Each structure stands twice: as structure tokens, then as C-alpha cells.
Amino acid sequence: MDTTKKDISLIVLVGLVLFWLGNWAIAITDPVESNYTLTALEMLRSGDYVSPRIYGNYWYDKPAFFYWELIAAYKLFGVNEFASRLFPGIFGVIGLVITYLFTKKIYDRKTGLMAAGILGTCFEYWLLSKTIITDLTLFVFFGGVLITFYLSYSTKKRNYYYLSYFLAGLATLDKGPIGLLMPGFIILVYLAIRRDLKEFLHMKLLTGLVLYVLTAGSWYYAMYTIHGMDFLENFLGVHNFLRATQSEHPQWDVWWYYTMIFFAGCLPWCWTLPAAIIKYIKRREMPVFDQTTTFLLTWALVVNIAFQCMATKYTTYTLPGLLPIAILMARYLYDREKLVKITVGVMLAVYAVLTFTLAVPACSNEGYSSKNVAAVYKDRVKDNDLVVSYGDYKTSAVFYGDKMVYRLEHGDQIADMLPDGKSWNAKNVMPFMALEELPTDRDVYLILNNRKFDVFEKDFNVAEWELLEGFKNARVYYRKAK
């Protein structure tokens, strides 16, 4: 076995252990993970693998690729936490492998191993490789687009460009138009810096875009054929355009947001950036970058700056910029191989401990998941019984309880909460029920957020409700039909 195969085998083995360890015990959390798992579960049960759906309604938040991953995992391992976290871990490992191979190609084996080790032990990368979201899949396809572009551009083997278009198509199936637009913008900026925009004449644009459309467009065409303008208005209008122009979380729409994410997400390696800056300041000279370094810096900076300019900020958006950052960190630490090895070894142990001392107990907390809450009523509830939630609706209750949960609100407030196609209310696709219309002829199970207990006492006749079990963040009540 040659050294490359040995290196890949080691990376795969360590990566799978790191990213799969303890996943069977980490509960599905709200609000994001449960949306993905419940959508995939409903698609699986319906037998419709084209149209994502949740609470029995069509759901246009994301394209289908990640749901297909979850469906495949559920078919292989059943509907459980390990299966739900299977593919994020797999793509996490693939991300390490392509980082190693690319870095080895443009630099050398030592830098490739260091880059893979640095990337895999960055806090954000470890965390997202165990989290049920689309971002590790996007990381691989996004990175693949730019890696194959650079290999084609730097070696003049331009057939690699076809692979770029194919991977952009897969990225678009995973996350939407950003899978093409952001890598394309990075390439445009890089070629502009190089003053080589004529390269676009050699990038197989016509045939490449045909390949892209065939790869990504089949699902989009099917969705438009089935759902018409409702799909376009919600998927493109709300979940893409609205995210870019209107902040979903205004408190985080600040200029320093992704700087903070960098230093937190790149722990324990983030110190290398200020160290490198200080080094060049002390030299009192402007750094001169070669073609490869310019490409890596362009990739990293454009990702972070472009997403900083968008209104909605998410901790995961800049993850694709972590690949070139890891390579640049490996180059900076090239002569400190022992330090890198020790740090990687220590962090592997730290993450193993954190999995069982932090991730498992934290995700089981009722503030993050309704797994324990759903267990209270799951074996008691009958077909005609009603399950309602008051104070804090959690999709994980539907996933774990295997029963529809209605969001209980005052009747005169519901109209302002329903999806309207023009605001973030479009995400409120769960079933609502007016508090005043809560039926008395059915057994009712009530999930109550503890912060709403005072309001609960005002809105309900507490004497009618039996407390089944209380947790730190929630309580479960039962009212027998009259």
C-alpha cells in the first residue's frame, strides 16, 4: 500500500470515529435538526421522494438532496439518532480526504496531512459533522467546485471544468442557487485579480452549463411542474431572496459577526491569524502571494465578506471558507509539525470527552429537544387523542411522539402568525389551534413551556389538568374528555 492510500485510510478511520462517536445517544434538537428529520420521515412514509413535506404540508425550505441522504440512512439503519447523523459524519470525512488530496497536489504530503488534521479538529467542523444540517454536504460539493476549477486552471487540463459544473449542480440540489453563484463569484474575483478573465472562454461554459442544468435542474423542473409558482415564490422568494435582504435574526446583523464565528469556529487554531499578521507587521513589508496562495485567500475572504453583506446571519454560512483557511494554517505551521501533532491528538481526546459530557446531556435537555417530553405520552396517546403545545412549539415532539402536535394560540392572534409568503411567517407551517376552541370531548395532552406557567394558570382551568411529568424546561399535562 502506497503512502497516499495509507494516509487516506488513517484519515477515514480517525474521522469516522470522531464524527460518529456517541451519535446514537445525541437527541434530535430544535429548531433545525428536527425540521430535517421530520421532513425526511414524512417523505419516506409518503413514498414521495420529490416533494419535501412537513406536518402534511409541502415544504420549500431546502432542495431534496439532504432529505435523500436521511431517507437512505433510515432505510439502512431505521429511524433513529445514529441514522440521522450518519451522512453529516460521512461528508465530514470526505471533506477531510479532499482537503488532504488537494493540498498534497498543490503543496506536499506533509502539508496535506496537517491541513486535514487542522480542519478535522476545528471546533465548528467537528460540531457540524455531528449535526443534522445540509452544511457538510455543501462543504464537500462547494469545495469540489473550486478544487476542480483550480486544478483545471493551473494545469490547463480543462476537462476538469466539467466536474466543476457537475459538483455545482449537486451543491444546488443540496442548498439552492448559492451552490453555483458563490463558487462562480469566487472564480470571477480570482480571475479578475489575476487579470485573466479570458479564461472564461476556455471554461466550457455552454456544455458545462448544460451539464449543470441536467444535474440540478431535473428536480427543480419536477417541483415547478408539480407545484407551480407556489414553489418558486416560497423557495426562491422567501428562503433565498428574503434571507439575503431581510434579517431573520436582526440582533446578529452586525459587522463583526463572522469575525466572531471565525475565532470560535477555528478553535484551537484561530491564534494563527493574528500571529501571521503580527509577523508581517514586524517585518514591515507587504507580503507577496503566489498564484496558489492568492486563490486560497480569495476563496476564504470572498466567502466571509459576501455572507457578511447578507442580512441574515447564520453560524454555518461561512463553513465553505474553512477549507482554504485550514490549508493556509498548515502552511503557516509547516515548521511546527510536532505542535500540530500534539494539538490534533489533544483535541481528538477533548472532543471524545465533550461528546459524552456536553453534547449528549445538553441535547437531551428539554430546552433543546422534546425527546423526553414525547416519551411521557407516546405510549399512552390513542388515535382520537389530541396533543397540543403551548408556549414553545418544538418539531422534535412530532418526530419522537409520532403524533401531530398542534400549536395552541389565542384565536385572535393566529391570523398574524400564519404563512403569508412575504415574511418569515412562511416558516410557520405547523398546524395551529385556537385556545378557545380546544375540544372537551377528546383526551388532550398538553406540552407546556415552563416560562408560560403563569399564563397557563390564567388561560386554563388548572384543576382540570393532571400533571403527568415535569422537567426543567417543560411539563406534560393530561385532561380527560368530558
Q: Are 369 and 29 in contact (CB under 8 A)?
A: yes
Output the pLDDT for position 282: 80
**Cα first-last separation, the chain:** 74
Q: Which residues of 100-112 are buried (b: 16+ CB within 10 A; e: fewer)?
A: bbbbbebbeeebb
Output the pLDDT for position 232: 83
Output the pLDDT for position 126: 98
Handedness of CA 166, 63, 355, 263 (dihedral sign): positive
Residues in the chain predicted with pLDDT less than 70, given as ranges, are 1, 237-249, 252, 285-286, 421-425
pTM: 0.94
- Find, among 80, 94, 96, 92, the residue nearest to 23 by Cα: 80
Q: Are 472 and 395 in contact (CB under 8 A)?
A: no
Output the pLDDT for position 243: 59
Q: 3-class SS at 287? A: coil
Q: Are 388 and 406 in contact (CB under 8 A)?
A: yes
Report phi then psi at 255, rounded to 5: -65, -25
Output the pLDDT for position 385: 95
Q: For the chain, how many residues are written?
A: 482
Contacts of 260 (CB under 8 A, 6+ apart): none
Output the pLDDT for position 61: 86
Output the pLDDT for position 173: 97
- How far are the Cα atoms of 39, 107, 146 from residue 113, in angstroms, in the given order? 38, 11, 20
